[in-house]
Amino acid sequence: MALLEIKDVSKYFDDKEVLKGVSLKVEKGDVVSILGASGSGKTTFLRCINYLENADSGVMVFDGKEYDLKASSRKEMTEIRKKTGFVFQNYNLFANKTVLENVTLGLTSGRKIPAGMAKDRAVKVLDKVGMADYLDYYPSQLSGGQQQRVAIARALATDPEVIYFDEPTSALDPQLTAEVLQVMRQLAKDGMTMIVVTHEMSFAKEVSTKVVFMADGVVVEESTPADFFNNPQDPKTREFLAL
């Protein structure tokens, strides 16, 4: 059974349909890269499946339990958030909190984990992303790449079953992009299940188990990286890859 199956998500903003029935199946250990031009609905899709946005229809089956993405209870939303992590394009760290506090906050206040235990866990995940020497730094004292690695540590700290990344490197210059991608490659190697909206073709090609190409609110093509890049089927995919 798939870890996560999303069926037929639709979403309107006013009278504009930005998701027109998007479906996706994710197995444990999958790294799914979602590609597509700006405005194709990638962010909205990730936000709908984590309840940051309310879908107009669609169902998600997570660990065998079915969730109605349009009408889930608070309890169901909390359940899903506990099983998932989210990494945003602009890191979304608390500016007035240290690196350590940014990572422990969701553990101590969100999950009622005792402070000592939360700190141990935070140090462990910060070490994993190469940020254990920066516990007392504030986000403004860090590069964008370092901030994003802290954000990844924050997502990891809650021991999620899947992490969603929304263009995690698009605000970074090439060198900082490389250090964040390196962390993501390592997570993939460790077996973390990930859905990654990205424009990094080398990541999609080399790290993904599955590539999904979206355009205008629909999945145009879904395949293995080898098929996607070497043998694209849809004319829209060919056009996208030629860019």
Ligand X SMILES: Nc1ncnc2c1ncn2[C@@H]1O[C@H](COP(=O)(O)OP(=O)(O)O)[C@@H](O)[C@H]1O
Query: Is 177 an interacting residue with respect to ligand X (CB under 6 A)?
Result: no
Indicate the residue among 13 and 94 with the shorter CB distance to ligand X: 13
DSSP 3-state assignment of 62? strand
Query: Is 38 an interacting residue with respect to ligand X (CB under 6 A)?
Result: yes
CB-CB contact of 69 with 49 (8 Å) = yes
Indicate the residue among 40 and 102 with the shorter CB distance to ligand X: 40
Segment near Mg ion (CB under 5 A); pick from 13-21, 36-44, 74-82, 225-233: 36-44
Q: Which does 29 bind (CB under 5 to 8 A by kind): ligand X, Mg ion, none?
A: none
- Rounded to 5°, the CA angle 88-196-144 comes to 40
Query: Is 236 an interacting residue with respect to ligand X (CB under 6 A)?
Result: no
Query: Is 39 an interacting residue with respect to ligand X (CB under 6 A)?
Result: yes
Query: Is 169 an interacting residue with respect to ligand X (CB under 6 A)?
Result: no
Query: Is 85 an interacting residue with respect to ligand X (CB under 6 A)?
Result: no
Indicate the residue among 43 and 177 with the shorter CB distance to Mg ion: 43
Count Cβ atoms below 10 Å from residue 163 Cβ, excluding itself.
Answer: 22
The alpha carbon of residue 70 and the mean position of all alpha carbons in its chain are separated, in whole angstroms, by 20
Q: Which does 98 bind (CB under 5 to 8 A by kind): ligand X, Mg ion, none?
A: none
CA distances from 169 to 116, 183, 184, 207 (A): 32, 12, 11, 15
User: What are the residues facing 10 on neighbouring strands?
Assistant: 20, 57
Q: How far is the CB of 38 from Mg ion (least distance, A)?
A: 7
Report how far residue 86's alpha carbon sits from residue 152's, in angstroms, rounded to the nearest whole number: 8
- The residue count for binding ligand X (CB under 6 A) is 10
Encoded tokens for 107: 């553990």
Query: Is 44 an interacting residue with respect to Mg ion (CB under 5 A)?
Result: no
Report how far residue 20's alpha carbon sits from residue 10's, in angstroms, rounded to the nearest whole number: 5
Binding site for ligand X (CB under 6 A): 13, 18, 36, 38-44
